[in-house]
Amino acid sequence: MIANATNGHMMHRGRRRSRAAALLISAAMLTACLSAPAFSEQYGVTPFGLTQAERAKVMATLPNWSGLWNPVGGLIFDPATADPKGNNAQQPGDREHPPYNAEWEAIYKAKLDHTLAGYFTDPITNCLPHGMPRLMGGIPGPLEFVVTPEITYIIWEYGPQLRRIYTDGRDHLPVEERFDTWTGHSIGHWEGDTLVVDTVSMRGDTPYDRTGAPHSNQVHLIERMRLIDRDTLENDMTIEDPVAFATPWHVNRRYRRLPPDTFVGDSVCTETQHSPIINGQTQFILPNDPPGYLLGPMPLPPRK
């Protein structure tokens, strides 16, 4: 009986200890949640809704990317693999060398052959947007950055076109809820003076540039943007495309800051889209093109 009583007493004490331990664990978890870094304290991001005073402190830490910037290296998306080398004013038959698998290299080759036959395969000839990733390399004319703590905007003269890069700490939508757009969905964070950007959900019917180099809608873009000197901005891009590529594609583009008195106006394609017909082919004239300049399709080669 003494033994049983003793065992029962020990069991009650064990239950009390278990309950006490559970309470301690719950209290510790609650303390951890309350003391965890707030949304605004996540590394390199700033949520919407800060007071102006808090926002001004963050703003003071961001780099100055003001002004207008011109892409360096011509209209081919990847100047490093341009063929022929150093050709900034792209001609029919010019190409680049993305790391395509055999199937997508054949698709690209067919587009190049179509261009050589006198037809452009570029959607912008129908006044469609350039789309991403092309906007970061295969487009003429200046762009400008509007850098704020919560979001960075990139605005292009042509279109005009706008890209939003959210730096408020949000994530991409769940895969099952995503939908493709011209510029995709971009989220970023700051690592010192470098903006690191992750972009998904880009449409698969836009090329990288006027050569017609295609990509799928599974393309995934990672960028690291930074100033390398006062007037030179670098965008180091890694592009993954599990459908089209055999390996990731590394592309480095730079942009030069234009003189401070430079300004741009709106350049809206449809306003000057007269589409004259010459020799049975519809031509395309873009805004601000000089008289007689035809964007495409090119005249067919003379028949032999």
Q: Into how many domains does the chain fold? A: 2
Looking at residue 263, what is its pLDDT? 86
Answer yes or no: do 242 and 164 share one domain.
yes
Q: Is 115 exposed, middle or buried (0-12, 13-18, 19+ CB in 10 A)?
A: buried
Distance CA 141, CA 157 (A): 7
Looking at the fold, whether 16 and 93 belong to one and the same domain comes out as: no
Residues 32 and 73 in one domain: no
pLDDT at 195: 98
Q: In CATH, what number is assigned to the domain containing residue 73?
A: 2.40.128
Burial bucket for residue 177 (CB in 10 Å: 0-12, 13-18, 19+): exposed
Question: What distance in Å separates the CA atoms of residue 259 and residue 70, rounded to the nearest whole number?
Answer: 11
> What are the tens digits of pLDDT across the range 186-204?
999 999 999 999 999 999 9
Q: Give Cα 143 distance to the centre of its chain.
A: 14
Which is higher by pLDDT, 299 or 248? 248
Structural domain includes residue 176: yes
Residue 247 pLDDT > 90: yes
**CA–CA gap between residue 153 and residue 133 (Å, rounded):** 15
What is the per-residue pLDDT for 256? 96
Q: Look at residue 51 and tell me if it is in a domain.
A: no
Is the domain of 13 the same as that of 135? no
Predicted confidence (pLDDT) at residue 44 exceeds the cutoff of 50 = yes
Average predicted confidence (pLDDT) for the chain: 81
- Per the CB < 8 A criterion, the answer to whether 190 and 196 are in contact is yes
Say which residue the tokens 């180099």 belong to. Answer: 213
* pLDDT reading at 16 higher than 90: no
294 domain-assigned: no
pLDDT digits (tens, 9 = 90+) for 138-184: 787 799 999 999 999 999 987 778 999 999 999 999 999 999 999 99
Residues 130 and 9 in one domain: no
Within 8 A by CB and 6+ apart from 144, the residues are 66, 67, 68, 69, 154, 155
Please tell me the predicted confidence (pLDDT) of residue 187. Answer: 98
User: Does 91 share its domain with 177?
Assistant: yes
Q: Is residue 220 part of a domain?
A: yes
The yes-or-no verdict on residue 299 having pLDDT over 80 is no
132 and 24 together in one domain: no
Q: At residue 3, does pLDDT exceed 60?
A: no
Which neighbouring-strand residues pair with 166? 151, 187
Report phi then psi at 71, rounded to 5: -60, 140
Q: Name which residue leads in pLDDT, 56 or 289.
A: 56
Local structure of residue 93 (DSSP, 8 states): T
155 and 26 part of one domain: no
Is residue 154 within 8 Å of residue 184, measured between CB atoms?
no
Residues 11 and 92 both lie in one domain: no
Asked if 94 and 31 sit in the same domain, the reply is no
pLDDT grade for 131, boundaries at 50, 70 and 90: very high
- What domain range includes position 12? 2-36
Q: How many CB atoms lie within 10 A of CB 228?
A: 9
The string of pLDDT tens digits covering residues 61-106 is 999 999 999 999 888 999 999 998 876 667 888 999 999 999 999 9
Q: pLDDT grade, residue 238 (50/70/90)?
A: very high
Q: Would you tell me how many other CB atoms lie within 10 Å of the CB of residue 163? A: 20
Q: Are residues 251 and 148 in the same domain?
A: yes
